[in-house]
Amino acid sequence: MNPSLQCREVKASWLLGLAFCLFAEAIGVAAQAKQACVPEKNFVQVGHLLEKQQYEDAKALLRRLETCTSLSPIQRFNVGWLYGKAQDFPAALKIFESVSLDVPDELTHAYAIALVHFEQGNYQAAISVLTALRSKGSCNDKCADLLGVAYSKIESYQDAYAVMAENLRQNPSDPNAYYNLITLFADIGELDKAAQIANKAVAALPQNAEAFSMRGFIELSQAKEEDAYRDFASASQLSPTAPDPTFFMALADYRQSKFADAVQVIRNAVASGIVDSDLHYLIAECLVRIDPMDSANVLAELDRAIQLNPNSVSARVLRGQQLLQSGRPQDAIADLTIARELEPSPKRDARNATYLLGRAYAAAGKQDEAKLLFDQLNPHFSSDKADNLNRLGDRKMQAALHR
């Protein structure tokens, strides 16, 4: 065969093979793109990821979905909404602003934009969007809820009250209308008014566990522990798998020095299947008051609390304190160091951890490290064991009120 002809045949064969490969790759890419552009299926997948709080995976899937050229306007809006649920608010806002204002309708679209502004802490921007809706008579109960809370965030309490009170008048069956007003009055120290709204909430929503819990929070704030206990017991019956009503029932007992009763309340809840780190921490606090020398059982409860939540500052501080008292300063140092990292100064828990860590270093013979920590504290500072639990209770109560 002619060498030059053979060369041309080989070259032609190679080019044909290359063309085939490129064609196959193009088909594969097109198939992959087609598979990626199945919006409803992808929306379901994103929903599952969000339920598991796998936000990064959800956002990655949304970015692929966003490139799909066949998305309808409502589907693009839904991508933006899911970005918001994945806590990527800038991406959500960008999409909302790229879609026509009437998609899916003017109220929903404006509410979505206001909600993104609110989540980013741009309360005034949220207020501007929502008041514009309100001026058109288009503001529904969700819009009013968000507007009232946004006003309260900028401490414009009179405006917040006006919106919230009107919303409650128009929507007497809306739980949030009651809860937002209760929180507003609690924030400004008007506990009697908060209690009045809480009473109305319980009367209007007798099967709502949160209504009883909200009233219980106000009663605890008013030092009405027995009343609070009854309300949290009602909340627990209405929502038997929720850990917080049990925690606050036990806290009400604890504040009345009914430590054994508090332990029994929690043990009953744990036996029913409730799993919660703070419950075991509270048992440990009660056991310390029942028998300060019962370190084995106290440490067992704290071990369980930290196993369930390694980031529990309260449990870390108390376990560090117990280990120090048990003559185990090195183990105490480990817990208290983590507690300080989790709760930076100047918070009281951080100062407690600093004080106890200094004592642990001193007990371990590390005087220089101890002095360095003690120098960071007020000379008259001392660890306040009684306040650790109260601060945790206050944090949980504030989180519930401002959910």
Lowest mean pLDDT among 96-110, 258-272, 368-382: 368-382
Q: In this predicted structure, what is the pLDDT of residue 380?
A: 58
Q: In this predicted structure, what is the pLDDT of residue 377?
A: 82
Residue 379 has pLDDT above 80, yes or no: no
Mean pLDDT, residues 111-118 taken together = 96
Q: Which two tokens stand for residue 363?
A: 């007990």
**Averaged pLDDT of the chain:** 89
Mean pLDDT, residues 70-89 taken together = 94
| pLDDT (tens digit per residue) in 255-290 | 999 999 999 999 999 999 999 999 999 999 999 999
Q: In this predicted structure, what is the pLDDT of residue 338?
A: 95
Q: In this predicted structure, what is the pLDDT of residue 30?
A: 42
Q: In this predicted structure, what is the pLDDT of residue 239?
A: 97
Mean pLDDT, residues 151-159 taken together = 96
Residue 14 has pLDDT above 50, yes or no: no
DSSP state of 103: S
Long-range Cβ contact pairs of 305-313 (< 8 A, separation 24 or more) = 305/277, 305/278, 305/279, 305/280, 305/281, 306/277, 308/275, 308/276, 308/277, 308/280, 309/277, 309/278, 310/338, 311/342, 312/277, 312/278, 312/281, 313/339, 313/342, 313/343, 313/349, 313/353
Residue 254 has pLDDT above 50, yes or no: yes
Q: In this predicted structure, what is the pLDDT of residue 20?
A: 38
Mean pLDDT, residues 207-229 taken together = 97
Domains of the chain as residue ranges with CATH: 172-224 (no CATH), 283-403 (1.25.40.10)
Q: How many alpha carbons lie under 13 Å from residue 111 in its C-beta half-sphere?
A: 17
pLDDT tier at 4 (50, 70, 90 boundaries)?
very low
DSSP state of 402: T
